[in-house]
Amino acid sequence: MTSRNFRPIYAYGGYSIRPVKMYKDGAELLHCADRKKIQCLAIAKRENGVISITRDHSGHPPDDGLVEARIARSELRDQAKTTDLPPRTLLHDTKTKFGSRAIVVAGSNSALTRMIQRARDVKCVDTDDVDSQNPVFQGVMLLDNDKEPFLIFDEVNPTNGNRYVAFGSKAGLEVLEKSSLLLSDGTFSVAQPPFVQLWTIHATFSESTFPVVHVLMSSRHIVDYDYVLRRLKSIIPQWDPQDYLGDLEIGQSTAIKNAFPNIRQTYCFFHLLQAWFRRLKQLKLQGLTVYGSSLYEFWSLLRCLPFGDPATAVQDFNDICTLLPTPLTAEMQSFVKYIRNFYVGPVRVLKFPPVTWNVSDRSFRHLPRTTNSVESQHRNLEACVVDTRGRSTPLLSELLKCLRQEASKLKFDKEALEIDPTYKVSAERKKKDILKDQRVLKVLDARIAPGSQLKGIPFFKAIRAAKKYT
């Protein structure tokens, strides 16, 4: 027996309506969900997400509670198709979103549990194809939570045979096209073979950072990033960011520079210090950096070097090196050589020139110094890892559920801003962080003031003091 085709339900004016036909221009013809039951002949049209009634409802009053129950039941069925979560968890999540009344009206716990099991009996076509060794994305796996297209492209690079599958909502692409700041980050923990990483591109919206495009990649070399960026530029041709902020991965940054030759490239302040401290740990010097130890003064001021003038980075580093204990051990000499060869110079070619990791310009322009907001998306994917129910890596169908939820959050925030321009997309920053930034800016302003003598060691000590929480 073929399974029933459950069409989506839309709520409008206290009534529930379903699509019955799609016109050539993409608009949908909608009928009342109770058309057959009570002969309600209401007709509506849905175009570009906007619903307009062309024939009013008759024979039944509006009931928001019944509509909510139907939508909750429909969403519960869809969630059952795309996850392996136990029915109890699905019912709890749905009750949290829609409230107890909607679930009570939708049916008893046993009835809803049976519906979940029936949905999973017929879910295999789309979900199992995605979770196979050679993933095929089709059916509900192509759509977001609003049943709108979510798959941007699924292509194989003809030059090397590598595969890239990009996901993103229409709202996400619109935000990306308008964003002047581009951020990116890759994660490997949620990628299933044949893919090796999930590369996420972030954009700014209402003073906050959102993941807008997610790309499953079977390789992560420069040529792979080049291909993905070319395809995205062909889809959103007005995309022309002015600034890029990322971690210290050369492949990503090189490809972004190739795609946007005039972009200002900078690296994350946190990842920079993390790389430096990892080298200290490799040399077993980390124990000497704590307060009162021989490397404390050197290390605490070296961490402030990114706030200096990139043009004087060599001299500033030389000044900071005078704080090293003498004679230098072989490990200390190795660390100094590492900083010079990769970050400061003087050498002919630097892998990470000072202008790329300096944060003073970003501070003046009120741009992020770190990609911490990008890294926070990893925490949002933790729910996906929980869904694995003991597996070390989530299935692709489970991952897509999390990505669709991220897209829905952006859509909801955009709608909230249209209703209330004062709506806060993100939680307000802590007061202590705001005060810290004000102190840092005050020191930076003092350094560039006419006739200022604040430079070298005194400047870095002032930055160190400003960065401390009081």
Model confidence over 92-118: pLDDT tens digits?
Answer: 888 888 888 888 888 888 888 878 877
In this predicted model, which residue has the larger pLDDT, 188 or 273? 273
Residue with tokens 């509506």: 44
Phi then psi for residue 98, to 5 deg, are -105, -15
Read off the tokens for 365. 């322009």
**Confidence bin at 440 (pLDDT 50/70/90):** confident
Task: Return d(Cα 271, Cα 25) in angstroms, integer.
Answer: 48
The edge-to-edge listing of strands for the beta sheet with 197-205 is 151-156, 163-167, 208-217, 197-205, 181-187, 243-246, 264-267
Query: Which pLDDT tens digit goes with each residue over 127-138?
Result: 778 888 888 888
Partnered with residue 200 across adjacent β-strands are 185, 214
**What is the fold of 148-268+370-406?**
Nucleotidyltransferase; domain 5 (3.30.420)
Residue with tokens 């209401």: 42
Residue with tokens 């090293």: 324
Alpha-helical runs (H) found in 349-430: 354-357, 360-364, 372-380, 382-386, 396-419
Contact 71, 17 (CB under 8 A): no
Read off the tokens for 265. 């490239």
State which of 29-43, 153-167, 340-354 shows the largest mean pLDDT: 153-167
Q: Where are the domains of the chain?
A: 10-55, 64-122, 148-268+370-406, 269-366+429-470
**Confidence bin at 49 (pLDDT 50/70/90):** confident
Task: Return d(Cα 112, Cα 410) in angstroms, integer.
Answer: 30
Is the confidence at residue 302, as pLDDT, over 80?
yes
**Confidence bin at 78 (pLDDT 50/70/90):** confident
- Averaged pLDDT for residues 416-428: 66
The pLDDT score that the predictor gives to residue 1 is: 32
Of the ranges 18-27, 59-68, 435-444, which one carries the lowest mean pLDDT score? 59-68
Partnered with residue 246 across adjacent β-strands are 267
Task: Return d(Cα 358, Cα 342) in angstroms, integer.
Answer: 14
